[in-house]
Structure 1
Amino acid sequence: MERTRRRLAAVMCADVAHYSRLMETDEDGTLGRLKAYREVMSGLTERHNGRIVNTWGDAVIIEFASVIEAVQCAVDIQTDLSLRNADLPQATRMEFRIGINLGDIMVEGNDIYGDGVNVAARLQEIAPVGGILLSQSVFDQVRNKLALGFESLGPQKVHNVSEPVDAYAIRLGGKNEPWVPLGTNPRLEAEAPVPPPVMGQRLESGVDQARAWLRRQPKRVRSSVLMIGFFFLLNILTTGLSPLWFVWPSLPFIFLLAWSLLLGKGSSQKDMETRPLD
């Protein structure tokens, strides 16, 4: 019996949105289009040094040794298929959702298993139609190396994963529409109306986004924010909001925070301008 091995890999999971509806409308046409689109995906996967691990139904799992190649391949797939769909009636367009994760996987024969695969599959399930979602581990590797736009979605609760997954959406083709979660059902056939968030939900979302932002910052930024927050809390507990004396002991940390953010912004812009695509 072959021994199970482990390795770090980038895993892409993709499947067709509204596949059941397409099959119900035109089985032969849908199946033929699926085969043609899979040939496109196979060619792009080979070009980016990936390996198609498995296909079943309308889904596909692809493994990459390079996370940058995985993301570039996903972008190429969505761009190519979007051009092909543009010539088709809306009702017959075949659009994929894609999720990508970088993690430890178990390898047995030609198959792969483990949380590294599960997270990619769950991100694919909540990805927008025709879009790509990345895990935090993928985003950390590509954010300053690829000339792409990203949208932080904060922690996402996904099916069969105990901890929330920090997710990032790639903006494709200059699109600026906000990401709208489709739930965790990959066979969801219609988007339900999304009610406007109540004040408590807005506050919770803002806190989650602030935490996610703070976790991505260097240590000096986190320390400055915590010290400013400490003096503000001490101000409230001792004298209330009048007077606001916390500003004075916080000044060194405010200057350090502003300097660090300006320096980080300048470095990121310089990387985006001078670093070529891998």
Structure 2
Amino acid sequence: MTHPQPSYAFDRFRLRTAQHELLCDGQPVSLEPKAFALLTELLARRGELLGRDDLLDAVWGHRYVTPGVLSRSIAQLRRALGDDSDHPRYIQTVHALGYRFIAPVTCAGDGHAMDAVPREAPVTPQAGADATNESSVSPGDGLTVPIAVLPFANMSGDPEQVYFSDGITEDIITELSRWRILAVRSRAASFRYRGVAADMRQVARELHVRYILEGSVRRMGDRMRITAQLVDAQDGKHVWAEKFDRDVADVFAVQDEVVRTIVGTLVGRVQAVGAEQARRKPPASLAAYECVLKGNALPWAEPWGAEEATRMFERAIALDPGYGFAHSLLAAMRYGAWYEAPIGDDAALQESYALATRALELDPDESTCHSIYAQLCHLRQEYELSLQHVRRAVELNPNNQWNAGDMGMMLNYAGEPEEALQWFRRARELDPYFDVPWYWREYGLAYLLLHRYDEALAMLDRITGRNYRYSALRAASYALRGDDEIARIHAADCLAQRPEFTIAHYLAKTPFKRHQDSDLLAEGLRRAGLPD
């Protein structure tokens, strides 16, 4: 008799071994075969500490593979699951020993839920958040009000509309974050609870918040219904609840009404007006807005994702030429293409600068427009102007972790790596799950410029994924530390990915204000064996 192959369910995911598929909320999740086999092994032995050799034997058999293959597969799993190595929800790393699957799992083969392994400590509260005396928050006491916005549920019956409900959620998070009196948890922190029937008090404890906003979006043709409920997690009661039945084109008015109500309720203001109010300029076209939502949801680091996102942003501008935010995002895509172009081919950079300039003209109160314009100013070696605009981005949205990270990056190239470190730390205070590769690259660069090579490598080791720029920076850090043999290994990896790599090209794409900074990096790259 043939026994059925087991299926495993955890959180929003279901892994079906017989069909060789992983589903999230019923939708397929792309995984390489070895990563799928690795996840299956972790689920089959959930709760156990599995050594690296155990996993290599189980998944790769007796073939010789390097331990780095396992690390890359683990990293891919974490990306697919939305997990974080610092604050794991699913896969826990036990330093020097191996890995353990820690979330509660139900096996369809036996129908029994497995005991949950205790999760690691909850996330650190944001700077300024009142995580201890939550019962005495008032507008005049000088404290910030901690709040989380959970992903609005997609009630449309169409999985393709998830991007729409997610986009509405993200916009509300962004608009609330502009208010200094509110300490709003990041998207990465809040979206860990998508599709989870979690107890509000537990969520509040884990995110260190007093208030939670939840809701749903149902789209029916040209009409939509948005529900929103603000919960006081201290007693579990609803502070207010509202239902909005509107035309789809009125989505921006509904978002603003939700924000005004929250601010008015929690901060004691009748309406969100005055100098502190964000003067957002919504797009004139709903179709343009949807293009931006779709493009922003794509993986820009993947060539296909960048290509499709570029098309979406171009389409958004064609539909609404006055959409500043879309111009800003397309500018980011254009200078991303310029990074990969040969020296002297500056057409993409010039187009990017024109787009970023236009974005700022169209929407000077959007922080992202200032942040991306600041990056273009850096590439044009206009360092003071770069710092001016990235500071303005932080002023407009002080709770945005991306703005804080961008501030650190601009300070690196402007010759202020010590101050840059403070902003990189600030980004992780705002969002303990902030884990994009460029952030760790720039964090490591700051330490390198300060001649603190051990700390530089510790930051660079946090990067997941393989990129010749990261390999070059690792090579320089090891070489400057005196580990020439390891430096050459990373230099070889850089050249394997980018055979035409030269130090001159590398530095031309990331100009430094201070000659001693570019000279130090060039010295490290040269000592690692990379060509001039």
What band does the TM-score fall into relative to the shorter chain?
under 0.3
| Higher strand fraction (1 or 2) | 1
Q: Quick check: which has more Rg, 1 or 2?
A: 2
- Give me the TM-score of the superposition, normalised by structure 2: 0.17
